Amino acid sequence: MSDRELYCDGCEGVVLFEAPPCVDGHDADCPELVCTGCGAAVLIATFAFPAPRLHHRRRATRTPHRQAA
Ligand SMILES: [Zn+2]
Ligand SMILES: [Zn+2]
């Protein structure tokens, strides 16, 4: 088992992620994890560069409603 706890934007909190069945043949080295809460997939890249703390963005990408004039 290679379960991890990560911050999930969908769940707005730290939830348990688990490695999905890999279709790319990575096996245990698969950098993909899936949120057990909402099913969102994330890509971890601990092998490329260590990131002790991930900056999670606040919802700043929300498109403003157009106001009908
Ligand atoms: Zn994989
Ligand atoms: Zn989630």
The alpha carbon of 37 and the centre of ligand 2 are apart by a number of angstroms equal to 5
Per-residue pLDDT 10s for the chain (69 aa) are: 456 888 899 999 999 998 888 888 877 777 888 999 999 988 876 544 445 565 566 666 667 777 776
pLDDT digits (tens, 9 = 90+) for 22-40: 888 877 777 888 999 999 9
DSSP state of 60: -
The alpha carbon of 20 and the centre of ligand 1 are apart by a number of angstroms equal to 8
Nearest ligand atom owner, CA of 26:
1
CA distance 39 to 18: 10
| Amino acid 35: pLDDT | 94
Nearest ligand atom owner, CA of 33:
1
| Domain limits, the chain | 4-43
| Amino acid 24: pLDDT | 81
The alpha carbon of 49 and the centre of ligand 1 are apart by a number of angstroms equal to 18
